[in-house]
Chain A
Amino acid sequence: MQIFFQQVINGLSLGSIYALLALGYTMVYGIIKLINFAHGDIYMLGAFWGYYVINVWHFNFMLALLSAMVVCGICGVIIEYLAYRPLRHSPRITALITAIGVSFFLENGMAYLFGSNARDFPQVVKQVNYDIGGVRISNIQLEILITSCVLMLILQLIIKRTKMGRAMRAVSVDNAAAELVGVDLNRTISFTFALGSSMAGAAGVMIGLYYNSIDPLMGLTPGIKAFVAAVVGGIGSVPGASLGGFLIGLLETLVQSIGLSAYKDAVVYVVLIVILLIRPMGIFGKNVKEKV
């Protein structure tokens, strides 16, 4: 039982990272129906930014996290402006290829500038382990869990309570109608990208602290898994993405703990296919009827 709870704790901390990433996917997909393949690489940029400011400017953890969020938010907006905006009315597959191109560009650009070797992330927070009834939990895990829950709550408030959030929801339902009632489409989409990318930036800094190692290709697999999480939770739904992230994180650590770590990625994909077949709109997704 202790082992089980230990794995649950580990799974929740990993899951909260996936959840933060999945939020970006779900918002962008909800609003412009694009699988933003470059999202995982924004998370990588966040981790590198954290590495840089902690090493060079000696920022503390909170300051590094917040600055990474701002920088990644700006990066997201720039990427949307340069690469995705000109393609808004072209076929979906073209936009998808562009997103893949942007992802290649960021990965290889970073590998070219900083080398493709893994680096040690500076340990700004000294690890302290607490023992609660035989279950070991570190302050880093607690910090990740609390920070990501706070971020998710803030995001939920922005989407539900602010004017911009209402505009985002309106655009995701019907962008033409939203424009008719005076929503500025470009500004809303930019804002969505800024919001999603800043979540990814925060996740990047936290994963650097947790795994202690960063490299230019670190965004690829977590990016895809986070997208899986978004689909499982119901794409376009914010609580769904959070739930999906936690589910995928838990599943991965549990599979690993029963000795099948070689198959942990396969299990995630099997779950994805099963969910898509039983409930294609995901756990919290709305069922959209197709009209002829």
Chain B
Amino acid sequence: MNVLKANFKYNLCWFIIMITGFYLMNTLIMVGMIDSFIENMLVTIWINIILAVGLNLIIGFAGQFSLGHAGFMAIGAYTTAIITQKTVSIGGFYVSFIVGMIIAVVAALIVGIPTLRLRGDYLAIATMGAAEIIRIIINNMKITNGPAGMFNIPQFATWPIVYVIMCITTIITVNFINSRGGRVIKSVREDEIAAEAMGINTTKWKLAAFVLGAVTAAIAGSLHASYLQTIAPNDFGIMESISILIIVVLGGVGSVTGTFLAAVVLGILDTVLQDFGTLRMVIYAAALVLLMVFKPSGLLGTWEFSIRRLFNHIKRRSV
């Protein structure tokens, strides 16, 4: 809470920006500038932002290379699908949200406690394996309707809900990054041994970042299931984890602003290239390789847009 108070002014500014964005979107829909096609694209981008910000917390700030984000997304998606199909009400939707988050926390603890001892590529492969195990279990369960997936999921996640939740998860994540806990996980990222020597319980903090990331993934999964109304186990395979990872790396590992930018750029690129069919993925892949070769740190590197800095800048100017 102290953190929220300390950053109150800046959080308030962000809050105002977000409300402005909301009304801008609302007006544009009313005057017909945004049709259902663009709305669909925007909601997909927002869900990707929730996923990628959570993954950036794990990879960029805690420095733990996880390739299993889609597994936690699948947990949220399937919880929402199952619960809202049983109780078709907005209350059921929010309950499914909470249940999905709880299951994701439990799963993240089960996966994280043993595997977070590993480092680098080994951790990536282990988390990828864990996510695949989750997917294969879902693939073979009765209640999840097996490989065929679930359809006719009632749609409760309209664009305002997705927008508001995206804002909330981002504010919580960014405040965590700027809090004492955030500084601790950054120190673990920089040098785990040195952090340990300073008396930091590195396992605990790595796990905290991992669990927080998993929870945001579950939230995004719930929204994904409820918005698209159809899900299948194969939507949550390695490819999904990789596409979230691509957003994070493209924007710059360790930059939330970059994640936003990359999610928007990739979302638009995806829509523009839709007419190209298979060639779309070829262009996409080639663009990815070229970008990595010529700008390995991603679009923004670790640069972050900060209102605090903007304020200080203006203050210095006026003095």
Chain A residues within 8 Å of B, Cβ to Cβ = 29, 33, 35, 83, 86-87, 90-98, 100-105, 107-109, 111-112, 116, 220, 224, 227-228, 231, 262-263, 265-266, 269-270, 272-273, 276-277, 280, 290, 292
Q: How far, in whole Å, are A220 and B292 apart by their CA atoms in the complex? A: 22
Q: How far, in whole Å, are A97 and B250 apart by their CA atoms in the complex? A: 9
With A105-B282, A263-B140: A231-B125 Cβ-Cβ less than 8 Å: yes
Q: Is the CB of B193 within 8 A of A224?
A: no
Given contacts A105-B286, A266-B136, A272-B126, 7 further A-B contacts (CB under 8 A): A33-B121, A83-B293, A101-B288, A102-B285, A107-B281, A224-B238, A273-B114
Counting chain A CB atoms within 10 Å of each CB, the highest count among B59, B278, B285, B289 belongs to: B289
Q: Can you list 28 residue pairs at the A/B interface with Cβ under 8 Å?
A: A83-B293, A90-B296, A90-B297, A91-B253, A97-B246, A97-B288, A98-B293, A101-B286, A101-B288, A102-B285, A108-B281, A108-B282, A108-B284, A109-B282, A112-B278, A112-B279, A116-B278, A220-B238, A227-B125, A265-B132, A265-B136, A269-B132, A270-B129, A270-B133, A276-B115, A276-B118, A276-B125, A280-B118
Smallest CB-CB A-B distances: 9 pairs: A269-B129, A104-B285, A105-B285, A108-B281, A101-B288, A90-B296, A101-B289, A266-B136, A94-B296
Closest A residue to B65 using CB positions? A93
Q: Is the CB of B245 within 8 A of A97?
A: yes
Q: How far, in whole Å, are A228 and B67 apart by their CA atoms in the complex? A: 14
**Which listed residue (B117, B242, B253) contacts A100, Cβ 8 A?**
B242
Is residue B170 within 8 Å, beta carbon to beta carbon, of the partner chain?
A: no
Closest A residue to B242 using CB positions? A100
Closest A residue to B123 using CB positions? A276
Query: Which residues on the A side are within 8 Å of B38 (C-beta)?
Result: none
Which chain B residues (204-246) contact chain A, with CB distance < 8 Å? 238, 242, 245-246
Query: Which residues on the A side are within 8 Å of B285 (C-beta)?
Result: 101-105, 108-109
Chain B residues within 8 Å of A, Cβ to Cβ = 59, 65, 114-115, 117-118, 120-122, 124-126, 128-130, 132-133, 136-137, 139-140, 193-194, 238, 242, 245-246, 249, 253, 278-279, 281-282, 284-286, 288-289, 292-293, 296-297
Q: How far, in whole Å, are A277 and B111 apart by their CA atoms in the complex? A: 12
State how many angstroms separate the Cβ of A287 from the closest Cβ of chain B: 13
Q: How far, in whole Å, are A279 and B159 apart by their CA atoms in the complex? A: 48
Q: How far, in whole Å, are A90 and B285 apart by their CA atoms in the complex? A: 19
Query: Which residues on the A side are within 8 Å of B282 (C-beta)?
Result: 105, 108-109, 112
With A87-B296, A228-B125, A273-B126: A94-B249 Cβ-Cβ less than 8 Å: yes
Q: Is the CB of B136 within 8 A of A272?
A: no
Q: Is the CB of B278 within 8 A of A269?
A: no
State how many angstroms separate the Cβ of B119 from the closest Cβ of chain A: 9
Q: Is the CB of A92 within 8 A of B121?
A: yes
Q: Is the CB of A280 within 8 A of B122?
A: yes
Counting chain A CB atoms within 10 Å of each CB, the highest count among B129, B194, B242 belongs to: B129
Query: Which residues on the A side are within 8 Å of B281 (C-beta)?
Result: 104, 107-108, 111
Q: Is the CB of A273 within 8 A of B129?
A: yes
Q: How far, in whole Å, are A285 and B238 apart by their CA atoms in the complex? A: 27
Q: How far, in whole Å, are A107 and B139 apart by their CA atoms in the complex? A: 25
Query: Which residues on the B side are within 8 Å of A102 (C-beta)?
Result: 285, 289
